[in-house]
């Protein structure tokens, strides 16, 4: 019989266990980190910068991903130029009609709701310009159609967030419609009626921030409505209810300052006012910028958080018609 004797060598940073088990990690200060930290790219003990570098890289990759999706959304919606031009023409015509109605109203009641005649006409064309970017009449998201077709199953298993993916695409859509559907009615209104200009650079910046936050609030509301298709066979009732509440409480039909008593207070506190009324007031300088932007930001965060919870629930229970 041949007797073989093996000698066990410990890897650097390890020492034999007193019980005879080799390779036990050495926890004594000053020793090398265990091999598993180096194998999986983890930082050494006492060096959290490795984790920070990995998280920074992940955030940068996510930002680039969503920026690219927003660019794709802009390009995808830019293929429908004829529809955008027709929408701009329609918004311009209805803006002129609404402007004459408001002119008659403000001539009979000067200073109504704290607006003069120029402010009222400017509010009219601003609200017309918001129709496209804010998607005031609903829609703009393909989520409900993807639920009915069953394609949402692929969306829910993507490594990227479904809500953030949809938000990035919607921001691209809003940017395109802002250029092609919002600027023409505003330019025509300025040429025919002479609209009010912002008070200065600070007002322009606050208006731009309010416009972006208004788009985010609009998306968050439409996302919740579209996601309701996961629990309902037909979501057209929810879509119709959303259309009515958006038109009435956003300031699209009339400025919310005209609503009497508790109804006006309630309308200004609801999230729909962040879509039309608040950005228009920021443009006209009728509201404190920090208070208005804080109001929009609070609703945007709350609605996006609710959308994230609803998305998590949709992963566990999805009803797909025909899927």
CA 155/CA 143 separation, integer angstroms: 9
CA 159/CA 72 separation, integer angstroms: 18
Query: Among 10, 9, 178, 168, which Cα is nearest to 84's?
Result: 178
pLDDT of residue 52: 53
CA 258/CA 263 separation, integer angstroms: 10
Contact between residue 213 and residue 153 where contact means Cβ atoms under 8 Å apart: no
The first and second tokens of residue 77, run together, are: 């919606």
Q: What is the pLDDT of residues 14-25, one digit of tens each?
A: 444 444 444 444
CA 252/CA 79 separation, integer angstroms: 28
Instruction: Please report which helix (H) or strand (E) contains residue 15, including its range.
Output: strand 14-15
The first and second tokens of residue 300, run together, are: 């945007």
Q: 46 in helix, strand or coil?
A: coil
Query: Among 78, 69, 190, which Cα is nearest to 126's?
Result: 190
Crossing angle for the helix pair 277-284 and 117-129, to the nearest 10 degrees: 130
The first and second tokens of residue 223, run together, are: 């996302």
CA 91/CA 94 separation, integer angstroms: 5
pLDDT in tens, the chain (323 residues): 333 433 333 444 444 444 444 444 444 444 444 444 444 444 444 444 444 555 777 778 877 888 888 888 888 888 888 888 888 899 999 999 999 999 999 999 888 878 899 999 999 999 999 999 999 988 778 887 887 777 777 777 777 788 998 999 999 999 999 998 899 999 999 999 988 888 888 999 999 999 999 999 999 999 999 888 888 777 788 888 999 999 999 999 888 988 988 998 999 999 999 999 999 999 998 899 999 999 999 999 999 999 999 988 887 765 444 44
**Which contacts qualify for 51-58: CB closer than 8 Å, 24 or more apart?**
none
Crossing angle for the helix pair 81-108 and 183-193, to the nearest 10 degrees: 40
Radius of gyration over every alpha carbon of the chain, rounded to an integer in angstroms: 28
The first and second tokens of residue 13, run together, are: 């940073």
- Dump the DSSP string for 223-250: HHHHHGGGT-S--HHHHHHHHHHHHHHS
Query: Among 321, 114, 131, 292, which Cα is nearest to 209's?
Result: 292
Q: 152 in helix, strand or coil?
A: helix
């Amino acid at each position: 019989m041949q007797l073989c004797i093996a000698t066990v060598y410990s890897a650097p940073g390890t020492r034999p266990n007193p019980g005879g088990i080799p390779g036990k990690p050495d926890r004594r200060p000053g020793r090398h980190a265990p091999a598993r930290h180096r194998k999986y790219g983890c930082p050494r003990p006492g060096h959290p910068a490795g984790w920070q570098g990995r998280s920074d890289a992940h955030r940068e990759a996510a930002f680039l991903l969503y920026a690219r999706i927003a660019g794709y959304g802009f390009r995808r919606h830019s293929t429908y130029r004829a529809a955008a031009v027709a929408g701009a023409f329609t918004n311009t015509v209805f803006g002129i009609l609404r402007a004459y109605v408001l002119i008659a109203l403000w001539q009979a009641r000067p200073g109504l709701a704290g607006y003069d005649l120029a402010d009222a006409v400017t509010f009219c064309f601003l609200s017309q310009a918001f129709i496209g970017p804010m998607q005031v009449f609903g829609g703009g998201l393909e989520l409900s159609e993807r639920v009915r077709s069953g394609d949402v199953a692929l969306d829910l298993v993507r490594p990227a967030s479904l809500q953030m993916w949809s938000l990035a695409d919607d921001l691209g859509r809003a940017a395109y419609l802002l250029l092609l559907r919002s600027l023409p009615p505003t330019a025509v209104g300025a040429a025919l009626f002479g609209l009010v200009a912002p008070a200065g650079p600070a007002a322009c910046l606050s208006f731009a921030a309010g416009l972006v936050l208004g788009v985010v609030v609009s998306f968050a509301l439409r996302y919740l409505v579209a996601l309701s298709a996961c629990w309902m066979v037909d979501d057209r009732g929810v879509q119709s209810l959303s259309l009515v509440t958006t038109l009435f409480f956003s300031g699209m039909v009339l400025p919310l300052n005209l609503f009497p008593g508790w109804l006006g207070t309630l309308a200004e506190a609801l999230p729909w006012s962040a879509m039309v009324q608040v950005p228009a007031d920021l443009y006209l300088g009728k509201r404190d910028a920090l208070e208005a932007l804080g109001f929009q930001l609070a609703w945007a965060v709350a609605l996006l958080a609710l959308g994230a919870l609803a998305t998590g629930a949709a992963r566990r229970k999805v009803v797909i018609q025909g899927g």
